[in-house]
Amino acid sequence: MNPDIDALQPYPFERLAALKAGLTPPPGLAHRPLTIGEPQHPPYQAALDALVEHQQAFARYPATAGSAELRETIARWATRRFALKQLDTEREVIPVNGTREAIFALVQACLDRTRPARVAVPNPFYQIYEGATLLAGGTPLYLDCDADNDFRPDFDSIDPDTWREVQLVFLCSPGNPTGAVTPLKEFKRLIQLADEYNFIIASDECYSELYLDEQTPPPGLLQAAAELGRHDYRRCVVFHSLSKRSNLPGLRSGFVAGDAKVIERFKRYRTYHGCAMALPVQQASIVAWSDEQHVRNNRDAYREKFAAVTDILAPVLDFPQPEASFYLWPAVPAGDDEALTRRLFSEAHVSVLPGSYMGRVGANGVNPGTGRLRLALVDELEATREAAERIRQLVERG
């Protein structure tokens, strides 16, 4: 067996299940889960209709590169959304079966294990960044994201000797779990560092279409590259998904775009990996990427939820006001995120995720997730509002 599997830490939800084991919630009180970031809004119906319409295409093998029509649709969307000059549909775009699979595969394709292979990841983080790194023979470099740096990594804190060992840097913007958005100037600064130290930037932007200010969509890495005049997107790749944008997490549809040299190597890896997107899924994806009205409606629903939950929880919990995503990242009044998680389940039948489960002890000896909770506001309004009311009542009881 691959010995690197032993280095993998338990997944957060596995730890959560163990934490809640043996607890009995109040009888007759409906469960209100705020744990998994799985959208509960209705999926985009036109995409589902396309899936059915093209179901006979399940009888055919798909190509790793995806159809020209899907790549062209993706390129049009990304070019318009991020004010790009162009995206080469043959060389700079590849459809993938969700960003989780693509993130894992990209790390396997990119790391050179014949030399030091550090992968910088925001801390706390989406656990796939770490697991993919370990299984590719790399070493995670945890960059703490706390209130002192507005919950974003401080790249200028890394010394030159460390940078020389970094082969890949992960960004998550908007951030999971903090909702923090990377400004264009920070993207540009990181591109300059990538030029200096020769590493690849991988920007996970799967929450980019869930933002609170309709007039201020979050910027992206390719947008920053284009503003720098780097229309080849050298050393830059981005990940996007229909899971959050169109409430289609089970469709497993997204794309990777950017540096043609990286995409070419990634495509070769995927050819052997055997994970081409099914043709009916490609047709459904074309429909979803071609429509913006359902995405605007989705944002409206999240704004209403954020406003309601903020009104309920702001008087009793301290949390950064997210610019985007669908998470809240409140500090625990007594500082013990596991203890409050157990109490919320056993006394209020509300499930949340301890922030410490999403982080690791960083260079300063502290896990920046400790003492916080991740609340996923993915359910419908009334269920989410009820969960927030129960949290407030418990906190007020002390």
DSSP 5: G
Structure confidence at residue 370 (pLDDT) = 97
pLDDT in tens, 7-43: 999 999 999 999 999 999 999 999 999 999 999 999 9
d(CA 206, CA 255): 10
What architecture does CATH give domain 59-290? 3-Layer(aba) Sandwich (3.40)
**291 in Cβ contact with 44 (< 8 Å):** yes
Please compute the mean of the pLDDT values over residues 227-254 and round it to a whole number: 98
Structure confidence at residue 189 (pLDDT) = 97
pLDDT in tens, 93-133: 999 999 999 999 999 999 999 999 999 999 999 999 999 99
d(CA 100, CA 132): 10
Residue 362 has pLDDT above 90, yes or no: no
* Domain boundaries for CATH 3.40.640.10 within the chain: 59-290
* Domain boundaries for CATH 3.90.1150.10 within the chain: 3-42+294-397
Would you state the structure tokens that stand for residue 382, as one six-digit string? 């009334």
**387 in Cβ contact with 344 (< 8 Å):** no
d(CA 355, CA 19): 13
Please compute the mean of the pLDDT values over residues 279-304 and round it to a whole number: 98
Which SS3 state, helix, strand or coil, does residue 217 take? coil
**357 in Cβ contact with 12 (< 8 Å):** yes
DSSP 36: S
pLDDT in tens, 154-211: 999 999 999 999 999 999 999 999 999 999 999 999 999 999 999 999 999 999 999 9
DSSP string over 177-215:
TT-----HHHHHHHHHHHHHHT-EEEEE-TTTT-BS-TT
User: Cα angle vertex 96, ends 93, 99, to 5°?
Assistant: 105
Structure confidence at residue 326 (pLDDT) = 95
- Total-model pTM: 0.96
Asked if residue 218 has a cis previous peptide bond (ω within 30° of 0), the answer is no
Asked if residue 124 has a cis previous peptide bond (ω within 30° of 0), the answer is yes
Rounded to 5 degrees, what are φ and ψ at 202?
-115, 110
**305 in Cβ contact with 157 (< 8 Å):** no
Fold of 3-42+294-397: Aspartate Aminotransferase, domain 1 (3.90.1150)
Residue 363 has pLDDT above 90, yes or no: no
